[in-house]
Amino acid sequence: MSLDATTRERIESLLKSHRVVLFMKGHRHQPMCGFSAAATNTLNELLPDYHTVNVLDDPEIREGIKAYGDWPTIPQLYVEGELVGGADIIRQMYGSGELHALFGVAAPDRTPPEITVTDAAAKAIREGTANAQGLALHLEIGPDHSAGFQLAPASEHDIVAHANGLEVHFDPASAQRAKGIVIDWVSTVQGEGLSLKFPGAQEVKSLTVQELQQRLAAGNITLIDVRPAAARADLAPLPQARILEDEGYEALATLPKDTALAFICTRGISSQGVAERFAAHGFSNVHNVAGGMLAVEEHR
């Protein structure tokens, strides 16, 4: 792939102007693909500030950066003008501590967190991983306490916690956030699944549609619609609802911790997970609307 002189100069100017540059799809606070999101999530753990270039806005840079570093995919991380690599390499270097050293940040604490896995959760995990030979159970916990389990090969750099006869693998940041968590198996009207409880987190209360309407009329609860735009187009949100996608977690997280919050989605499933994140962040009066917008439609 050829690289014209003008594009090369533009790239070199960017690299000279900023110590750390991430060429990505989207922006640091709004990545537009999973790999770019993974890269920014990792860098955000270590750097208060770094420069990003949205290649979706600039086709010449999008193709030119691939030729410049002879690297075929996006995102690409450059530090002091040198190509580090893409999302997988960034993640590997983060887990090993190499990324910390590159940025001059203190090495990560590799102390395994003390966690609790209930008997019900342990049983469900064993049954679910019975045929997953050669794979380990990984738990990733984000800054907003969003959590995800996945089965993936173990790495020598994983931080491994043991509980109830099980091994749970963490990256350094997730290990810190996992201290004191309880992994449980829960059954609700929304379904069954693994649930995380963080130390000090308040329970999420269930709210019926009738109770929601009464609270909204009284003006003593804030309703937050967590659905993406496509779902809101199918069932229009209540006029009082604030839209999570529009405002973002960071803005809503600045509300007073005793604010009465109610979360709603289409069926009441994904809103439960969002409500639990806010509870984990110290909000003390958190509700989930049972049945979601479908239940609202039934009562209209």
Mean per-residue pLDDT, 123-152: 90
Mean per-residue pLDDT, 152-174: 95
Task: Flag whether pLDDT at 254 surpasses 90.
Answer: no
User: What residues have CB less than 8 Å from 43, skipping those under 6 apart?
Assistant: 20, 22, 50, 77, 90
Mean per-residue pLDDT, 141-146: 82
258-274 pLDDT, tens digit per residue, is 999 999 999 998 898 88
Q: What is the pLDDT of residue 61?
A: 95
Contact predicate 290/208, CB 8 Å? yes
How far CA 248 is from CA of 38, 102, 242, 251, 280, in Å, comes to 18, 31, 10, 6, 17
Give residue 168's pLDDT band: very low, low, confident or very high (50, 70, 90): very high
d(CA 153, CA 262): 38
Q: Show the tokens assigned to 3.
A: 């690289």
194-233 pLDDT, tens digit per residue, is 888 888 777 899 999 999 999 999 999 999 999 999 899 9
d(CA 67, CA 248): 35
Give residue 26's pLDDT band: very low, low, confident or very high (50, 70, 90): very high
Q: What is the pLDDT of residue 86?
A: 95
Burial class (CB in 10 A: 0-12, 13-18, 19+), 192: exposed
How far CA 247 is from CA of 37, 212, 214, 222, 250, in Å, comes to 18, 21, 25, 14, 8
| 185 phi and psi angles, rounded to 5 deg | -110, 120
Give residue 188's pLDDT band: very low, low, confident or very high (50, 70, 90): low
Average pLDDT over all residues of the chain: 92
Percentage of the residues of the chain whose pLDDT score is greater than 90: 74
Mean per-residue pLDDT, 164-184: 95
- Whether omega for the bond prior to residue 75 falls within 30 degrees of 0, making it cis, is yes
Beta bridge partners, 224, equal 242, 263
Mean per-residue pLDDT, 170-193: 85
SS3 content of the chain, % helix, strand, coil (to 5): 40, 25, 35
Look at 135-139, 144-148, 174-178 and tell me which has the smallest mean pLDDT.
144-148
Q: What is the pLDDT of residue 190?
A: 52
For 59, which DSSP code?
H
For 189, which DSSP code?
T
Q: What is the pLDDT of residue 269?
A: 87
Q: What is the pLDDT of residue 9?
A: 95
pTM score of the predicted model: 0.72
Look at 29-38, 68-77, 93-102, 165-174 and tell me which has the smallest mean pLDDT.
29-38
Contact predicate 167/137, CB 8 Å? yes
Q: What is the pLDDT of residue 136?
A: 95
How far CA 37 is from CA of 28, 69, 160, 272, in Å, comes to 8, 21, 24, 23
Q: Locate all alpha helices (DSSP H) within the chain, ordered by sequence.
A: 5-17, 34-46, 59-68, 87-96, 98-103, 119-128, 172-177, 209-218, 229-234, 244-252, 270-280, 292-298
Mean per-residue pLDDT, 129-153: 89
